[in-house]
Amino acid sequence: MAIHRIRDNLFLVDLDSPIPGFYQFVGSWILRDGDRAIIIDPGPAATINTLRNSIGEIGIDRVDYVLLTHIHLDHAGGCGDLIESYPDAVIVCHPGAVTHLANPERLWQGSLKALGDLARTYGQPSPISRERICPERDIVWKGSAIQSLETPGHASHHLCFFYKNLVFAGEVAGVNIPSKSKPYMRPATPPPFRPDIALHSISLVAERSPQLICYGHYGLREDASNLLKMAQDQIRFWLELIEGRRDKGLSVDEAEVFEELLAKDPHLSSYYQLESDIRERELYFCKNAIKGMVEFINR
């Protein structure tokens, strides 16, 4: 169990899965005030005991809110199981997520179709009573406002949450992974993908001028404004490269596109410094991001 104290009141809990490469990748953010807390993205159902134990180890007795950036299994699949232990916890999510949280069967079947064994590893989500879901997405906690912002792109039901100088960004700006030199960075653009919507969402976050960005995958980074611009530029670069290959009559096979991106995208330059099992994980997700772009271009 790995608990990272990021700031005095901010913690990141690793929710590692028992498959190669899935460590220091999925995490849950915790805001603490005394013995009370807010959880941002409780993670998969399969790792909810890890989160529960970590909450106790940090010294938290009560969870007031659970904020969901989106309801993909790796971010919110364990929400229903978590709140069984915290009867006062209220869930804050996108309105479009409510039906899927209350009856997650369609979400589960869709996840099985898209992710296969990875979905089974994350675990099946439990249903949540609609009475536990807050109709308001902007809240005040311990005298400080936490504001939400609709940021579709990675998912139609995606939100970002702003707290003081932080933004809990989910996957609006893709994935940013530490490496031995500069961070490895990639888009999170699975099908169905609409670049106009995704790029606009990043712009909306940037307009709020957060200083620090808490990624869904993985960790906290400074200089949020620059990172948000880099995320936009990277999406545009990947799209232009794929369109260029298509226009030249070259293959847009995901593996071949990825090889060219590795050679030309400086934000992927740390790929070979990642551990081999993490590279395998990232190859899978990069191909999925490319697939989203290719499907959009070929519409």
Nearest to 267 by CA among 170, 167, 173, 201: 173
Q: How many CB atoms lie within 10 A of CB 208?
A: 14
User: Which sequence spans correspond to the domains of the chain?
Assistant: 3-229
Q: How many CB atoms lie within 10 A of CB 9?
A: 16
Q: What is the pLDDT along the chain (299 residues), one digit of tens a residue?
A: 699 999 889 999 999 999 999 999 999 999 999 999 999 999 999 999 999 999 999 999 999 999 999 999 999 999 999 999 999 999 999 999 999 999 999 999 999 999 999 999 999 999 999 999 998 889 999 999 999 999 999 999 999 999 999 999 999 999 999 887 889 999 999 999 999 999 999 999 999 999 999 999 999 999 999 999 999 999 999 999 999 999 999 999 999 999 999 999 999 999 999 999 999 999 999 999 999 999 999 98
pTM for this one?
0.96
| Distance separating alpha carbons of residues 163 and 222, to the nearest angstrom | 15
Q: How many CA atoms lie within 13 A of 4 on its CB side?
A: 13
CA-derived radius of gyration, the chain:
18
pLDDT the model gives residue 1: 60
| Distance separating alpha carbons of residues 250 and 244, to the nearest angstrom | 8
Q: Which helix (H) or strand (E) holds 207?
A: helix 195-207
> What six digits make up the tokens of 19?
């498959």
Chain center to CA of 281: 15
Q: Alpha carbon of 294 to those of 31, 94, 222, 297: distances in Å? A: 38, 28, 32, 5
E strand map for the chain: 3-7, 10-14, 27-33, 36-40, 62-67, 90-92, 139-141, 144-150, 159-163, 166-170, 175-177, 184-186, 212-215, 219-222
Cβ-contact 290, 270 below 8 angstroms: no
pLDDT the model gives residue 188: 98
CATH code of the domain occupying 3-229 = 3.60.15.10
Q: Return the biggest CA–CA distance within the chain.
A: 61
**188 φ/ψ angles, rounded to the nearest 5 degrees:** -120, 85
Nearest to 139 by CA among 90, 77, 200: 90
| Distance separating alpha carbons of residues 77 and 64, to the nearest angstrom | 19
